[in-house]
Amino acid sequence: MLDIKFMQKMSFKTRKSYVDHIFEKGKDVFGRPFKSYSKEYGERKRANKFKRQSGAYATKVTPVLTGDLKNDAKPFATPTSFGIKFAAHGGKVASLNRMKRELSSDKQPLPKKIIETIEKDVRREIAKQFPNKTTKIVLGK
C-alpha cells in the first residue's frame, strides 16, 4: 500500500514544511508566534555577541542561534512510518519546550497545517492505488 518510497518523499516534504514553520516563520507547534526573549539575551542576540551566532537570525525570535538545532532536524522513513528527529540536539527541544517555546508536544507533535497536508497526501496516495474503494485512516500513536 504505502511503500518506503512514499514514506521517504513525505519525510522530506514534512521536514521542509516543519523547518519553514518553526525556524523561518517563527511560530511554535501550536501556530503561535514565539515569545520575546529576556531583555539581556535579546540585546546580546541582536548585537551578534554570541560565539558562532548565525547573523541571519539575529533580529528574529526564532529558536536559532548557531543554526545547529535547525540543521539537526533530520527526516527519517521506514517502510511503515516517517517523521523528523533531532539526533544530536534533542535535549534543546526538551529545554525549549520547558520554556514554553514548544517545537513539539505530546498533544500536537507537528503544526496543524502540516498534519492536514499529511492527511491529504496520504488520502490522495491511497485513492491513486485503490480507486473506487473506501479506506478508513486512523492517525495517532
Taking only the tens of pLDDT, the chain with its 141 residues reads 789 999 999 999 999 999 999 999 999 999 999 988 999 999 999 998 999 998 889 999 999 999 999 999 999 999 999 999 998 998 999 999 999 999 999 999 999 999 999 999 999 998 888 887 776 777 766
In-domain check, residue 135 = no
**Position 36 in a domain:** yes
Cα separation, 62 vs 128, whole angstroms:
38
Expressed as residue numbers, the domain containing 57 is 4-129
User: How many structural domains comprise the chain?
Assistant: 1
3-class DSSP state of 41: helix
Burial 2-18 (b: 16+ CB within 10 A, else e): eeeebbebbbebbbebb
Q: Are 101 and 35 contacting, i.e. CB atoms less than 8 angstroms apart? A: yes
**pLDDT, position 95:** 92
Say if CB 22 and CB 62 are below 8 A apart: yes
Half-sphere exposure of 81 (CA within 13 A, CB side): 6
Residue 141 lies in a domain: no
Q: Is 140 contained in some domain? A: no
The answer to whether residue 137 sits within a structural domain is no
Q: Which residue has the cell 516534504?
A: 13
pTM, whole model, 2 decimals? 0.87
